[in-house]
């Protein structure tokens, strides 16, 4: 498959996990053509559910062994400081240890969510370095197709 075909064709989506955490929900699916997991988030996650949400996503990463994971927060209202910290301190190191090399996010349209996501990513920079020499790249891109291209070709 050429680079152009990869951009145009994300391939089939295989649903692998869906759950509600109070007023927050996540739908997770696999793009088997690319070995990429996409997680679409909607609503607002309260502090009570953050740890369980991260545990569930880490379990998905462990089971599916993706090369990349794409965060789709386009339906989120805002990312609380507690949620941002948990992503930085637990989620990113956790998926990197499981072999995920890239974790781009799609820029959300809502101004508040967009500023939360941009603040979180700019705090960490483009590459996350972990003890033991592991690293993972993060980025904010405009579309699912751009994220797939960045993971598979970048």
100 within 8 A of 135, measured Cβ to Cβ: no
Residue whose pair of structure tokens reads 């988030």 in the numeric block: 41
| Closest among 77, 132, 146, 67 to 103, alpha carbons compared | 67
Q: What is the mean pLDDT of the chain?
A: 87
11 within 8 A of 43, measured Cβ to Cβ: no
pLDDT digits (tens, 9 = 90+) for 6-61: 555 778 899 999 999 999 999 999 999 899 999 999 999 999 999 999 999 999 99
Residue whose pair of structure tokens reads 């979180």 in the numeric block: 120
The total of other beta-carbon atoms located within 10 Å of residue 99's CB is 13
pLDDT band at 122 (very low <50, low <70, confident <90, very high): low
Residue whose pair of structure tokens reads 């349209």 in the numeric block: 109
Residue 61, classified by CB atoms within 10 Å of its CB into exposed (0-12), middle (13-18) or buried (19+), is: buried
Return phi, psi of residue 138, to 5°. -125, 155
Q: Which structural domains are found in the chain, ordered by start?
A: 3-153 (3.30.750.24)
pTM over 0.85: yes
């Amino acid at each position: 498959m050429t680079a152009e075909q990869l951009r145009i064709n994300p391939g089939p989506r295989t649903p692998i996990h869906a759950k509600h955490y109070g007023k927050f929900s996540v739908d997770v699916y696999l793009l088997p053509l690319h070995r990429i997991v996409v997680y679409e988030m909607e609503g607002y996650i309260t502090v009570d559910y953050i740890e369980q949400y991260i545990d569930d996503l880490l379990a998905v990463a462990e089971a599916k062994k993706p090369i990349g994971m794409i965060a789709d927060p386009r339906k989120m209202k805002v990312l609380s400081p507690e949620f941002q910290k948990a992503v930085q301190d637990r989620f990113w190191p956790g998926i990197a240890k499981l072999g995920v090399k890239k974790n781009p996010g799609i820029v959300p349209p809502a101004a508040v969510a967009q500023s939360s996501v941009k603040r979180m990513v700019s705090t960490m920079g483009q590459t996350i370095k972990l003890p033991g020499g592991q690293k993972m790249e993060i980025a904010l891109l405009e579309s699912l197709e751009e994220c797939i291209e960045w993971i598979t070709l970048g």
